[in-house]
Amino acid sequence: MMLCFCLNIHLILKLGIYSEKPDEILRIFGGMAMNKRVVITGIGVVSPVGHGKANFWNAIKEGKSGVDRITRFDTADFTCKIAAEVKDFDVTQYVDRKEAKRMDRYTHYAVAACRMALEDAKLKMEELDGEKAGVLLGSGVGGIETLEEQHSKLVSKGPGRVSPFFIPMMISNMAAGQLAIMTGAKAKNLTVVSACASGTNAIGDAFRAICSGEADVMITGGAEAPITPLSFAGFCSMKAMSTRNDDPKGASRPFDAERDGFVMGEGAGILILEELEHALNRGAEIVAEVVGYGSTNDAYHITQPAPEGEGGARAMKDAIDDAGLRPEAIDYINAHGTSTPYNDKFETAAIKSVFGEHAYTLAVSSTKSMTGHMLGAAGAAEGIASALALKDGFIPATINYENPDPECDLDYVVNEGRQKEIQYALSNSLGFGGHNATVIFKKYI
């Protein structure tokens, strides 16, 4: 370790690299020590706007809304009656019916998206070193549907009728556990629970695992199935969700002056991350590169973001520094953009504080306007959208934007996507509890 340290210092001096900031020097030679490049080689999606990479991306490009009136339970007594539900989904296409009965719906989504991602990556796990392949997922509420169902059984029929599979179906780490069992991935296996930042934190932590040499392949992303009566009742009581019940398709309207709350979504996004040489050696097609990650906390409030988005700004700055970039290099931001009054206002302020005048020249959009807010899976779906934006040279729109808000005055790519070649995309996720996470993706050339 000391030899590496000395060699890095020697190289810095020889190259004439100089900075008055010690942190910048540490970043420079720290990056030399952690020089493994990380690329995305496979994508799988289960979402309210379509399943599979192609269907999901085509819907996003077309500006399709997945929001409608809830079909899963009776909403007569609920103030919010709309959501972005996953539809036309049959888990038995991906897993045996008997096994499916032993999994919560959020795990169904994760398993399906993982199988899609492996197929997309043309990755056969039996040909890999299982001890160098890991799983790192995010989920905010885990198996809440199972929790509600089994609690009802306890109350109505007694403890003897509670399923022996209740605990392994309900716990938030079980989707990751099931993916490891399914694939034989024996390296790091973790679940990040950081509310709405979970999916982005998972991608960032998986990126770091490959950078550091802990793994060659990481299965990462997020899964969530929160559209249940209890979950809905809680969010309704918080008055956090839109009540634009007569206009479901137009209810999620990030950055619009008349936004009135988020629309709940569900699903899963899975990305296959690989060390670059590992991917090239097997002839993999590369979607994009992961180059930077920042994770911070507001330490301010259980639900509200810190004033002016201070914590989110630090996450963006840390990710930019981690990537070794200047702020001006970022072309596109897939914003957290929840369609709530505080979030959109403070995220806009955070972007301005980090990017200065460049904030007005880069493109910002929220794909939650289409997918709804997929909670712990949101960052995964939005990371996928960011990577495909780079691959395809297309910036997704923020749909349903009608009324300008003077406090939200950036280029939100309103209502219609934009064909444009971009080099760097930044994806933000901000969660209850003050969690902030940012990942930066680069066009792979």
Q: How many domains does the chain have?
A: 2
Look up the pTM and report it: 0.92
Token pair 């090239």 is at which residue? 280
Average pLDDT over residues 9-30: 44
Per-residue model confidence as pLDDT tens digits over 230-261: 999 999 999 999 999 999 999 999 999 999 99
Q: Report the C-alpha gap between 387 and 408 in whole angstroms.
A: 25
Residue 436 has pLDDT above 70, yes or no: yes
Answer whether residue 329 is part of any domain: yes
**Same domain, yes or no, for 138 and 261?**
yes
Q: What is the pLDDT of residue 276?
A: 98
CB atoms within 10 A of CB 75: 18
Residue 2 has pLDDT above 90, yes or no: no
**What is the identity of the amino acid at 370?**
M
Average pLDDT over residues 414-429: 98
Residue 11 has pLDDT above 50, yes or no: no
Q: Domain end: 231, 255, 281, which one? A: 281
Q: What is the pLDDT of residue 161?
A: 97
Per-residue model confidence as pLDDT tens digits over 262-292: 999 999 999 999 999 999 999 999 999 999 9
Q: What is the pLDDT of residue 35?
A: 79
Kindly name the residue from 80, 196, 211, 236 that is annotated as catalytic: 196
Answer whether residue 26 is part of any domain: no
Per-residue model confidence as pLDDT tens digits over 119-160: 999 999 898 899 999 999 999 999 999 999 999 999 999 999
Answer whether residue 18 is part of any domain: no
Per-residue model confidence as pLDDT tens digits over 72-109: 999 999 999 999 999 999 999 999 999 999 999 999 99
Token code pair at residue 9: 């210092």
Residue 22 has pLDDT above 90, yes or no: no
Residue 15 has pLDDT above 50, yes or no: no
Token code pair at residue 95: 């897993």
Cβ–Cβ < 8 Å for 217, 207:
no
Kindly name the residue from 108, 278, 373, 435 that is annotated as catalytic: 373
Contacts of residue 251, defined as CB under 8 A and 6 or more positions apart, other chains included, come to 67, 82, 242, 244, 245, 263, 339, 400
User: In degrees to the nearest 10, what's the CA dihedral of 321, 323, 324, 328?
Assistant: -80
**Same domain, yes or no, for 376 and 266?**
no
Answer whether residue 55 is part of any domain: yes
Q: What is the CATH number of the domain that holds 277?
A: 3.40.47.10
Q: What is the pLDDT of residue 403?
A: 97
**Same domain, yes or no, for 311 and 369?**
yes
**Same domain, yes or no, for 300 and 277?**
no
Q: Domain end: 281, 311, 330, which one? A: 281
Residue 218 has pLDDT above 60, yes or no: yes
In DSSP notation, 6-18 reads: HHHHHHHHHHT--
**Same domain, yes or no, for 349 and 418?**
yes
Q: Domain end: 250, 281, 312, which one? A: 281
Answer whether residue 437 is part of any domain: yes
DSSP lists the bridge partners of residue 46 as 51, 268
Percent of the chain with pLDDT over 90: 91
Kindly name the residue from 108, 278, 336, 435 that is annotated as catalytic: 336
**Same domain, yes or no, for 274 and 300?**
no
Average pLDDT over residues 28-54: 83
Q: What is the pLDDT of residue 54?
A: 98
Q: What is the pLDDT of residue 145?
A: 98
Q: Report the C-alpha gap between 78 and 236 in whole angstroms.
A: 7
**Same domain, yes or no, for 123 and 181?**
yes
**Rounded to 5°, angle at Cα 40 from 38 and 41:** 120
State phi, psi for 340 to the nearest 5 degrees: -105, 150
Q: Which domain holds residue 182?
A: 38-281
**Same domain, yes or no, for 52 and 157?**
yes
Residue 196 a catalytic site member: yes
Residue 9 has pLDDT above 50, yes or no: no
Average pLDDT over residues 288-311: 96
Roughly how many angstroms between the first and final C-alpha of the chain, as a whole number? 33
